[in-house]
């Protein structure tokens, strides 16, 4: 294939494939996390019959919450793993190709810097949440099958799970969470990619210590904590995308209720996307003009 036959679409798709080939943990990491969750669930399931008898003594609303808890924790574990993998990928995405000078080879190909940076950005922004959602749903299905089998072997009725766990709501929450994750964490990925393209040494330290240094300077100089509050708010997870009803510290919903209207009308979502676009723009400029390390 020569340069004249390379279309922008094919160049972009091949760039995405190249990133997936070069960084296999992006797909394998959530799968491994799901496997670890399943191993832990199987070990804990040895106590399942006794725990289920105790659960059935609770009021109906608390029964549903208790039965759904392992599924919620499994989803959180896989999401947390995905975020860590995404951060590791972004910190090295533009830095590593400058460090090993492979950027000299990639720049010789008929692929623009914009195409390359957007191909790197799509992995944590869209592909990683989609993979995490698929792994969560498969893990939940296997957990349900294991629960049903153990209860049946113990002579108990497995319908206590099927009738109290809102599977439709669970699937909907996972899919909505993946979409919200793509939007909410976009500025984080943009920042990490920008630092990856700028740093000459230690991109990980620059990426994570710079915001902490700014927070410390603000605290010492002005006695305020706006920077650390903003960081905590952005890293605070996907609670902003859901409505969580609780009585005190006790949740009333077995599955968090998606809140699309509240989330999509939150100005911070769209401000974050603008920040992400600006960071990616800087990343494109840096890839074009920064020298190899």
For the chain, helix, strand, coil in percent to 5 are: 80, 5, 20
Q: What is the pLDDT of residue 273?
A: 96
Identify any residues that bridge with 247 across adjacent strands, giving them in sequence order.
250
Q: 275 pLDDT exceeds 90?
A: yes
User: Looking at residues 182-198, what average pLDDT do you find?
Assistant: 95
Q: What is the pLDDT of residues 235-274, one digit of tens each?
A: 876 788 998 766 555 566 788 889 999 999 999 999 999 9
HSE (CB half, 13 Å, CA atoms) of 251?
A: 16
Band of the pLDDT at 107, cuts 50, 70, 90? Answer: low
Band of the pLDDT at 167, cuts 50, 70, 90? Answer: confident
The set of long-range contacts for 274-279, using a CB threshold of 8 Å and a minimum separation of 24, is 275/187, 275/190, 275/191, 276/125, 276/186, 276/187, 276/189, 276/190, 277/190, 278/190, 279/187, 279/190, 279/191, 279/193, 279/194
More confident residue, 3 or 215: 215
Degrees (nearest 5) of the Cα angle 46, 52, 53?
115
Nearest to 172 by CA among 238, 243, 258: 258
As a whole number of angstroms, the distance between CA 225 and CA 233 comes to 12
What are the boundaries of each domain within the chain? 12-289
Spell out the residues 6+ positions from residue 292 whose beta carbon is closer than 8 angstroms to its own. Answer: 98, 99, 101, 103, 104
- Torsion-angle region of 59 (φ positive above 0: left; ψ -120 to 50: alpha; else: beta): beta
Element (H, E) at 8: helix 8-22
Q: 2 pLDDT exceeds 60?
A: no
Tell me what the pLDDT averaged over the chain comes to: 88
């Amino acid at each position: 294939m020569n340069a004249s036959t390379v279309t922008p679409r094919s160049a972009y798709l091949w760039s995405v494939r190249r990133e997936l080939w070069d960084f296999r943990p992006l797909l394998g990491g959530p799968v491994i996390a799901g496997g670890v969750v399943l191993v832990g669930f199987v070990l804990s399931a040895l106590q399942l019959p006794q725990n289920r008898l105790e659960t059935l003594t609770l009021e109906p609303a608390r029964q549903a919450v208790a039965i759904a808890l392992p599924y919620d924790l499994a989803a959180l574990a896989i999401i947390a793993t995905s975020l860590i993998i995404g951060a590791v990928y972004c910190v090295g995405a533009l830095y590593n190709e400058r460090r090993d000078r492979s950027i000299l080879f990639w720049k010789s190909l008929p692929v623009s810097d914009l195409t390359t940076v957007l191909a790197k950005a799509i992995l944590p922004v869209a592909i990683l949440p989609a993979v995490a959602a698929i792994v969560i749903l498969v893990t939940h299905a296997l957990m349900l099958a294991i629960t049903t089998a153990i209860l049946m072997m113990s002579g108990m009725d497995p319908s206590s799970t099927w009738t109290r766990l809102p599977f439709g709501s669970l699937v909907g929450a996972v899919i909505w969470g993946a979409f919200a994750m793509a939007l909410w964490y976009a500025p984080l990925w943009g920042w990490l990619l920008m630092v990856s393209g700028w740093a000459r040494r230690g991109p990980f330290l620059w990426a994570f210590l710079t915001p902490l240094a700014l927070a410390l300077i603000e605290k010492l100089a002005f006695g305020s904590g706006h920077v650390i509050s903003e960081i905590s708010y952005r890293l605070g997870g996907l609670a902003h995308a859901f409505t969580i009803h609780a009585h005190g510290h006790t949740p009333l919903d077995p599955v968090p209720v998606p809140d699309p209207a509240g989330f999509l009308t939150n100005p911070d979502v769209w401000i974050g996307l603008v920040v992400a676009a600006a960071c990616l723009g800087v990343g494109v400029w840096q890839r074009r003009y920064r020298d190899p390390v």
